[in-house]
Chain A
Amino acid sequence: MHWYSRFSRKLVQQHRHPALTVLRQKCAVSYLSTVATLPSAGKVECYISKETDPWINLAFEEWLFRKSNSARYILYLWRNQTCVVIGRNQNPWKECHLKLMQDDGVPLVRRRSGGGAVYHDIGNSNYTIFMPRDEFDRRTNAQLVCRGLHQLDIPASVNERHDLVIGDKKVSGSAYKLVNARAYHHGTMLIDADLTALGRYLRPPPKNLVGKGVESVRSNVTRLREHSFTVDHLSFCEAVAGEFYRTHGVPWREPVELTVDHMKANPKVRDYYDEIRTWEWIYGQTPDFAHRLERSFRWADADILMNVHRGMITEANVSLKSERHIAVASRLSECLQGTRYSEDGIREAFGMLKEDLILGTRDLEELEELQEWLEISL
């Protein structure tokens, strides 16, 4: 079924949950007062992406954000294939289980807004509301989406972190971006996402990793599916769009569909896409951190400290606490410097080391062991 044929159907309000009445009152807006200061209908737009590539969808978002510098209100609805999305100033090595993600082929994505790490899959829907910066406030749009959920008979409310919860469990995380005179508020919505996968990827193994940057706030989560048998991506989009139009006092209009053709036709979208797919953006934008690794091998005790700036090892201090390994340790420290903090970087450094020093079979075996441990410890 084509999605917008469902949009045209009129939403039937049902009041099965008594709790909903109270929640509705909490999120209610006075439509009369809103209407008085309403932007004209021309200033309200709605888009929906038909793509599920996370980078394409974020590129559309950036394009919608940058393209108009006016007083427009825009709603953008989208969903992604399985991926983990971290906040603008987060450390992926600290926030998610990169090894597991790599094994499962789950990509890591860095978004431009603040906040913590979130899990996406096709059972999770996302909304973005663009507005003039002066109108930005964290609660207003959370309440708008909340009213959308009430339309679907889901007893959601907005918590003190401006996330949407059902009871005390989170169903939607939000984040914001402010640039010049524009702002956006975006958020996830767990409809029937795989919560086991969510827990797996967002629970990283413990590491001795110290750095600045923004840490995720862990929350118990639930899904809309637990509260509604029928809710899906389309009915969610329909409810939020309906509420968006209603809040801005404009009649229903079909949202504009965004497809990969839009990207082909707009070189800017392509630029935004290319930029966020680079290693320099995804990993290189990590705030400075230090990683200390210790392990006892049969042949020596290893103690390694690496300082990382923009994803590159800027300083490494390798100590192997054994006379026989002094040369190896000091040369390895030098080789690690200036390489990427990644498996490839480590491999490169060990490659250099092996070329530089004349090593016996025993040394090589030990180095092999050290390299393997370092690679899996990042």
Chain B
Amino acid sequence: MFRQTLSSTRVLARSFRPQLIQRTAFLSLRGYATRKYTPEHEWVSVDANGVGTVGITEYAAKALGDVVFVEIPEVGTPVLQKEQLSAVESVKAASDVYAPLSGEVIEVNQELESEPSLINSSPFEKGWIAKIKLTKKEELDGLLDEAAYAEHIKE
């Protein structure tokens, strides 16, 4: 269903807007609908089954520079909110990634092992790090929405 909403937005946008603007509008629309953020630049997008997909934001990826290594968590690992989930390294900078929500890691993005640069090229899509089966959905309310995060990185 999610996919359908996406593509219909895209089709709509394509018919009305020039190429460049269309893409930006499409991305932010979807962001408003699903994505939440931490002040430490992680994002999480939660589906109807209570599974949160986690990654780091475009802002963080840009600040880090070319990612050369991603420490991928292990499936089955229980994580608590604000506990370390993963770590990335970019041009001599090691940066810890924290779990935005508590739960259990049920899937990881193995692609990052051979292609860590996906974090830079596609931070919100192909550069996702892990999927967490949430155990405390109420924690989601404490995260930033798109507008609040945008405000946060402007500071």
Q: Point out residues on A near B: beta carbons under 8 Å.
A: 87-89, 112-116, 134, 136, 138, 161-162, 174-181, 212-214, 287-288
Report the minimum CB–CB distance from B70 to chain A (whole Å).
Answer: 9
- 15 chain-A/chain-B pairs, Cβ below 8 angstroms: A87-B94, A88-B89, A88-B94, A89-B71, A89-B94, A113-B93, A113-B94, A161-B92, A176-B94, A180-B40, A180-B96, A180-B98, A213-B69, A214-B69, A287-B71
Chain A residues contacting B113 (CB-CB under 8 Å) are 212, 288
Q: Are A214 and B89 in contact (CB under 8 A)?
A: yes
Q: A88-B89, A212-B113, A214-B89 are in contact. Are A179 and B69 (CB under 8 A)?
A: no
B90 at the interface (CB under 8 A from A): yes
Name the CB-closest residue of B to A115: B92
Contact pattern, B 74-104, Cβ under 8 Å of A = 1, otherwise 0: 0000000000000101111111101000000
Chain A residues contacting B89 (CB-CB under 8 Å) are 87-89, 114, 214
B13 at the interface (CB under 8 A from A): no
Q: Are B68 and A88 in contact (CB under 8 A)?
A: no
Known contacts A89-B69, A287-B69; 16 additional CB pairs below 8 A are: A87-B89, A87-B94, A88-B94, A114-B89, A114-B92, A138-B91, A161-B91, A174-B92, A176-B92, A177-B94, A178-B96, A179-B95, A180-B98, A213-B69, A214-B69, A214-B89
Q: Is the interface of A mostly helix, strand, loop or mixed?
A: loop
Chain A residues contacting B94 (CB-CB under 8 Å) are 87-89, 112-114, 175-178
| Bound: A81/B94 CA distance, A | 24
Name the CB-closest residue of A to B155: A134
| Bound: A113/B89 CA distance, A | 9
Chain B residues contacting A115 (CB-CB under 8 Å) are 92
- Which single member of B63, B69, B92, B114 contacts A113 (CB below 8 Å)? B92
Name the CB-closest residue of A to B95: A178
Chain A residues contacting B114 (CB-CB under 8 Å) are 212
Q: Is the interface of B mostly helix, strand, loop or mixed?
A: strand
Chain B residues contacting A178 (CB-CB under 8 Å) are 64, 93-96
Chain A residues contacting B95 (CB-CB under 8 Å) are 177-179
Chain B residues contacting A112 (CB-CB under 8 Å) are 94
Chain B residues contacting A87 (CB-CB under 8 Å) are 89, 92, 94
| Bound: A274/B67 CA distance, A | 30
| Bound: A320/B92 CA distance, A | 42
Chain B residues contacting A177 (CB-CB under 8 Å) are 93-95
| Bound: A89/B68 CA distance, A | 10
Chain B residues contacting A287 (CB-CB under 8 Å) are 69, 71
Chain A residues contacting B71 (CB-CB under 8 Å) are 89, 287
Q: Are B92 and A181 in contact (CB under 8 A)?
A: no
Chain A residues contacting B64 (CB-CB under 8 Å) are 178
| Bound: A162/B92 CA distance, A | 10
Report the minimum CB–CB distance from B2 to chain A (whole Å).
Answer: 31
Chain A residues contacting B68 (CB-CB under 8 Å) are 214
Report the minimum CB–CB distance from A219 to chain B (whole Å).
Answer: 13
Q: Are A114 and B98 in contact (CB under 8 A)?
A: no
Chain B residues contacting A114 (CB-CB under 8 Å) are 89-94
Which residues of B in the span 27-86 have a Cβ within 8 Å of any Cβ on A?
39-40, 63-64, 68-69, 71
Contact pattern, B 140-155, Cβ under 8 Å of A = 1, otherwise 0: 0000000000000001
Taking each of B39, B92, B93, B94, which has the highest tally of chain A beta carbons within 10 Å of its own beta carbon? B92
Chain B residues contacting A113 (CB-CB under 8 Å) are 92-94
| Bound: A176/B96 CA distance, A | 12
Chain B residues contacting A162 (CB-CB under 8 Å) are 92
Report the minimum CB–CB distance from A339 to chain B (whole Å).
Answer: 20
Name the CB-closest residue of B to A163: B92
Report the minimum CB–CB distance from B56 to chain A (whole Å).
Answer: 11
Which residues of B in the span 105-155 have a Cβ within 8 Å of any Cβ on A?
113-114, 155
